[in-house]
Structure 1
Amino acid sequence: MTQSPLIVLTSRVFPETRAALERVARVVANEDSEPWSRDEVIERCREANGLMAFMTDRIDRAFLERCPRLKVIGAALKGYDNIDVDAARERGVQVTIVPDLLTVPTAELAIGLMIALGRHIPRGDAGIRHQGFAGWRPQLYGTGIGHSTVGIVGFGLVGQAIARRLRGFGCRIVAFDTNPFDEGAGVERVAFDDVLKLSDFVVLGLPLTESTTSLIDAAAIGRMRPGALLVNPARGSLVDEAAVADALESGHLGGYAADVFECEDLARPHRPMSIDARLTAPGARTVLTPHIGSAVTSARRQIELSAASSILQALAGRLPAGLVKTPNMKTAALTG
């Protein structure tokens, strides 16, 4: 009798996800909340036919060479900068992603980060917890979204979802993307530098590629209007966190909110290994969340089941949903 395929899950998943795979395959799964080490993942994947990968995995040429039986990598991700798609294709390994189920939760969190940063919500909460509350005082005046200019850098699915959710706030929305897009109701297409110069809030919605890495560096921050607020729900390495910390210290940048950080981007060999301590220091004008952009229970369940379905389709010889047909490519110049 032919042995059923072996599928490795590198992160803890919902019982429904594992059950869907176990109906036709043998499953080895991480049952802990902490990721396996790279060596442990490779060891468990040596005989695997399918792999469900997550943000904590780095799938490169060396990894693939040590896992010769792999046929499909089903990433429970939208961005796939941590997977060498070219190397996978050369070895006949299909790579799939979940292109749209993360969009709405990420857009919702982006709005939450904007409000929390602009209205000093974490500082207000901390003040009550540590100092008590004696009634209204003239303090913590901030920036509301209404009547502000919000600039969105990257107007793909997430950028468009953010814009749709901003329409009820009565703000001006400007957007930049190297690709053509339908401006839609109330969205003005402008150049990248104009987004920086015009916006009270700059919100990032780009994938991480060679040309978007450290896009928001000291020079870009210097072109932002004084006191502007920067919000990053996309990928940590879009931003030079040390430059952000410098700009917060100088007062040029009014605040920084992020759900993603440079230390997470495993494809960058020289990335910082931790968040700049100045961003996490008491009193820093920052709002930081632990990469919870898609952390909505119903969405995470759907994401896992979608990735599982793609793995099973590939192992059955069918064209899997979410197949990555091209690697992350260099984008056009970001000054147009």
Structure 2
Amino acid sequence: MSAEPTVVVTANVETGCLDVLAGHARIVINDGVDPWPRERLIEHCREATAVIAFMPDTVDDAFLRACPSLRIVAGALKGYDNFDDAACSRHGVWLTVVPDLLSAPTADLAIGLMLGLSRHMIVGDRLIRGGGYQSWRPILYGKGLQGSHVGILGFGNVGREIARRLTGFGATVTYADDAPVPKETEEALGVQASGFDQVLTQSDFLVLALPLTERTVRVIDRAVLDRVKPGCLLINPARGSLVDEPAVADALSDGRLGGYAADVFACEDLAQNDRPAGIEPRLLADRERTVFTPHLGSAVTTVRHEIVAEAALNVLDVLQGRAPRGAVNRPFPAQETAG
């Protein structure tokens, strides 16, 4: 094994994001667009000291047993449901995330999904490109944000950033969250706390801003969709498995939902053993009432650079004997901080 530590980067990133590691490690980067197959990932990481990992990767007990030299899995992400933090701790491996940098761009996209769906932007674009436009006609009337009731499920960083962006739209915004929110935060954002059922029954737009946990898997199921305000527009910039996609397709078909916009899909959630092989076909076929984007939540050039650079700083912390700043676990035996 080389005396120089090896850091494996599992996605194609600009090398400038990794400048902080120059002179500290040998860096191996996936230079393709597609994720490495698991066998190839293990091959690269077998003797690596660190791996900077992304959403398509899965880190579990078997992976960690195959890569015994790892000291840190640095996630260039916020949600880490594909990464087994308990297994990392057992193997003496730090697991880190980047908790703050993804919230603002995800909130930007959520607003874009709301506007794109409610104002029929994609349908209108197809109309123009299909040669069917001559001049104004009384068609494609939609739903504006002004005067609408927007309900946000989950009021962590992403939920609050969405609310912040809604302050200028003239909408009434309520939220439901198990954790208490300071009154001054509510006042600054112009929002009110509400119960889960009230958010369902009152919202013209229902926006998901929840993490994916055992409690929130398919939190939007058939029973919940039966209780939403008729014609509600469901917006999902968070995690695909928060919704039961076939149930959403049924609710669109029978008119309970007025539309569904999503940046995320259940087939992406690798930690879910029962995840579907692909996106619900009926959702893909419903071009009039859906808007979909390919997981673009944090796909802002400057933000992606910052996310990878922050993950690299976590790696540097460990290489230099410090507890990493973005740690979500405490390895056993603990790797003590230096100095």
Report the TM range for the smaller structure's normalisation.
over 0.9
Give the CA deviation at 1:174.
Answer: 0.5
Q: Which residue of 2 aligns with 1:262?
A: 266
Give the CA deviation at 1:2.
Answer: 7.5
Distance change in 2, residues 1:305/1:136 (3 Å): same
Q: Which residue of 2 aligns with 1:184?
A: 187
Q: Aligned partners of 1:236 and 1:103: how far apart in 2? A: 17
Map 1:164-175; keep pairs closer than 5 Å.
164-175=164-175
TM-score for the superposition, normalised by structure 2? 0.94
Give the CA deviation at 1:28.
Answer: 1.2
Q: Aligned partners of 1:282 and 1:22: how far apart in 2? A: 49
1:299 counterpart (298, 303, 306) = 303
Q: Which residue of 2 aligns with 1:4?
A: 4
Identity %: 54
What secondary structure is seen at the aligned counterpart in 2 of 1:312?
A: helix
Q: Aligned partners of 2:324 and 2:79: how far apart in 1? A: 17
Is 1:206 the equivalent of 2:210?
yes
Alpha-carbon contact 1:10-1:29 (below 8 Å) kept = yes
Give the CA deviation at 1:21.
Answer: 2.5
Give the CA deviation at 1:326.
Answer: 8.0
Q: Deviations over 1:150-193 (max 9, x none)?
A: 00000000100100110111110000111111223421101111
Q: Which residue of 1 aligns with 2:63?
A: 63
Give the CA deviation at 1:279.
Answer: 1.1
Give the CA deviation at 1:38.
Answer: 1.1
Q: Deviations over 1:228-274 (max 9, x none)?
A: 00000011101111111111111110000000000000001110010
Gaps of 5+ in 2: 332-339
Q: Which residue of 1 aligns with 2:143?
A: 143
What secondary structure is seen at the aligned counterpart in 2 of 1:168?
A: coil
Give the CA deviation at 1:284.
Answer: 4.0
Q: Deviations over 1:45-88 (max 9, x none)?
A: 11011000100001111111111111001000010101000000
1:248 counterpart (242, 248, 252) = 252
Q: Aligned partners of 2:238 and 2:82: how far apart in 1? A: 14
What secondary structure is seen at the aligned counterpart in 1 of 2:100?
A: coil
Give the CA deviation at 1:282.
Answer: 5.2
Q: Which residue of 1 aligns with 2:101?
A: 101
What secondary structure is seen at the aligned counterpart in 2 of 1:169?
A: coil
Q: Which ranges of 4 or more aligned residues in structure 1 deviate by more than 3 Å?
A: none
Q: Which residue of 2 aligns with 1:330?
A: none
Q: Which residue of 2 aligns with 1:331?
A: none
Q: Which residue of 1 aligns with 2:25?
A: 25
Map 1:267-282; keep pairs closer than 5 Å.
267-281=271-285
Q: Aligned partners of 2:207 and 2:94: how far apart in 1? A: 33
Q: Aligned partners of 2:221 and 2:7: how far apart in 1? A: 41
Alpha-carbon contact 1:7-1:27 (below 8 Å) kept = yes
Q: Aligned partners of 1:23 and 1:206: how far apart in 2? A: 40
Which amino acid in structure 2 is aligned with residue 126 of structure 1? R
Q: Deviations over 1:200-232 (max 9, x none)?
A: 000011110000000001111111011000000
Q: Which residue of 2 aligns with 1:334?
A: none
Q: Which residue of 2 aligns with 1:315?
A: 319
Map 1:73-88; keep pairs closer than 5 Å.
73-88=73-88
Give the CA deviation at 1:309.
Answer: 0.7
What secondary structure is seen at the aligned counterpart in 2 of 1:131?
A: coil
What secondary structure is seen at the aligned counterpart in 2 of 1:152?
A: strand
Q: Aligned partners of 2:9 and 2:16: how far apart in 1? A: 13
Give the CA deviation at 1:127.
Answer: 0.6
Q: Aligned partners of 2:16 and 2:258: how far apart in 1? A: 44
What secondary structure is seen at the aligned counterpart in 2 of 1:308?
A: helix
Gaps of 5+ in 1: 328-336
Q: Deviations over 1:270-301 (max 9, x none)?
A: 10010011111153410000000000100000
Distance change in 2, residues 1:245/1:2 (3 Å): closer
Which amino acid in structure 1 is aligned with residue 140 of structure 2? L
What secondary structure is seen at the aligned counterpart in 2 of 1:68?
A: coil
Which amino acid in structure 1 is aligned with residue 250 of structure 2? D
Distance change in 2, residues 1:282/1:154 (3 Å): closer
Q: Which residue of 1 aligns with 2:336?
A: none
Q: Aligned partners of 1:113 and 1:184: how far apart in 2? A: 25
Q: Which residue of 1 aligns with 2:15?
A: 15
Alpha-carbon contact 1:72-1:315 (below 8 Å) kept = no
Which amino acid in structure 2 is aligned with residue 130 of structure 1? G
Q: What value does the CA root-mean-square deviation take over the aligned residues?
A: 1.5
Q: Aligned partners of 1:184 and 1:213: how far apart in 2? A: 31
